[in-house]
Amino acid sequence: MDNNLKAAYRKHLEKAAKALEKNNMQAFVADTSEEACEIVRSLLKDGEQISCGGSVTLSETGVMDIMKSGKYDFLDRSKATTPEETGEIYRKVFFCDTYLSSSNAITENGELYNVDGNCNRVAAITFGPRRVIIIAGRNKVVRDINAAIDYVKRVSAPANTVRLGLDTPCASTGECAGINTGNMCSGCKNDRRICCGYVVTGFQRDKDRIKVILVNEELGY
Ligand code: SF4
């Protein structure tokens, strides 16, 4: 990528990082996925219990490989063989040391915006694990909450429903069925709908429980 463009993107990330710090979330700006992985390694302690939400970003950056390295006690839901086991892991996650995830969007005002179907991910980001590490590419950083709502309805949810092979309206049209209603929660009535809980993470009382690594690359969706 052109260095001038990369420098301009970095300014946006730095602005969002400052705003996140004002909201009591520790923020880092990384130029590359490798740099983001170094930060993740520095934040994790050997042997601690970790888990994660479903995330393309964790795989693309290499953070998933760190999680699976054997250095940590990884509560891995992909190892569950029944819905009951999956549910048990989701509940155990509340007691883990560190939960890793991306965020659907991050505003330049320092807010995280996440939309979830099962809501295990938004629940763990909000409460439970001692620490939360969020890794997000520059494409997730948007101006404000309205832009975040729009981004999820136009990009995140349609791409995720295609990835998961779900027969939702957004998977076939590329945008949410509720896109033009002006209502955050408007959408389809599909049984497999992935938009059920809408969570904005603003100012945190538990300072630095949430750590956010903003990466100057296009990652996930
Ligand atoms: S509410 Fe339904 S149509 Fe809208 S983005 Fe979510 S899954 Fe897609």
State the CATH number of the domain containing residue 14. Answer: 3.40.50.10420
* pLDDT confidence tier of residue 1, bands split at 50, 70 and 90: confident
| pLDDT at site 59 | 96
Ligand 1 pocket residues where CB is under 6 Å: 153, 157, 161, 168-170, 176-178, 187-188, 190, 193-195
Sheet holding 26-30, edge to edge: 26-30, 210-215, 131-137, 98-101, 49-52, 73-75
CA of residue 192 to ligand 1 center, whole Å: 9
DSSP symbols for 40-59 = HHHH--TT-EEEE---HHHH
Tens of pLDDT along 151-208?
999 999 999 999 999 999 999 999 999 998 989 999 999 999 999 999 999 999 999 9
| pLDDT score of 154 | 97
Query: What value does the mean pLDDT take over residues 43-68?
Result: 96
Please give the C-alpha separations between residue 163 and each of 8, 35, 62, 194, in angstroms, as whole numbers: 31, 27, 19, 12
Residue 36 lies in a domain: yes
Residue 31 lies in a domain: yes
pTM across the whole model: 0.96
Q: Which pLDDT score, from 0 to 100, does residue 207 have?
A: 98
Into how many domains does the chain fold?
Answer: 1
The residue nearest atom 7 of ligand 1, judged by CA position, is: 193
- Using CA atoms, how far apart are residues 190 and 168, in angstroms rounded to an integer? 6
Cβ(217)–Cβ(52) under 8 Å? Answer: no
Q: How many CB atoms lie within 10 A of CB 165?
A: 8
Is residue 132 assigned to a domain?
A: yes
Ligand 1 atom 1, closest CA: 187
Here the tokens at position 180 are 């033009």
pLDDT value of residue 85: 95
In a domain, 194, yes or no: yes
What is the pLDDT at residue 54? 87
Q: Which residue from 115, 149, 175, 176 has its CB within 8 A of the most atoms of ligand 1, so it is best to mutate? A: 176
Q: Is residue 37 part of a domain?
A: yes
Domain membership flag for residue 221: no
Mutate to test the pocket of ligand 1, among 173, 183, 189, 190 (most ligand atoms within 8 A of CB): 190
Interval between CA 169 and ligand 1 midpoint (Å)? 7
Give the domain extent around 97. Answer: 3-215
Classify residue 142: in a domain, yes or no. Answer: yes
Cα of 136 from ligand 1 centre, angstroms: 22
pLDDT mean over 126-142: 98
Quote the pLDDT of residue 150: 97
Let me know if residue 171 belongs to a domain: yes
Confidence of residue 104 (pLDDT cuts 50, 70, 90): very high
Mean pLDDT over 74-91 rounds to 94
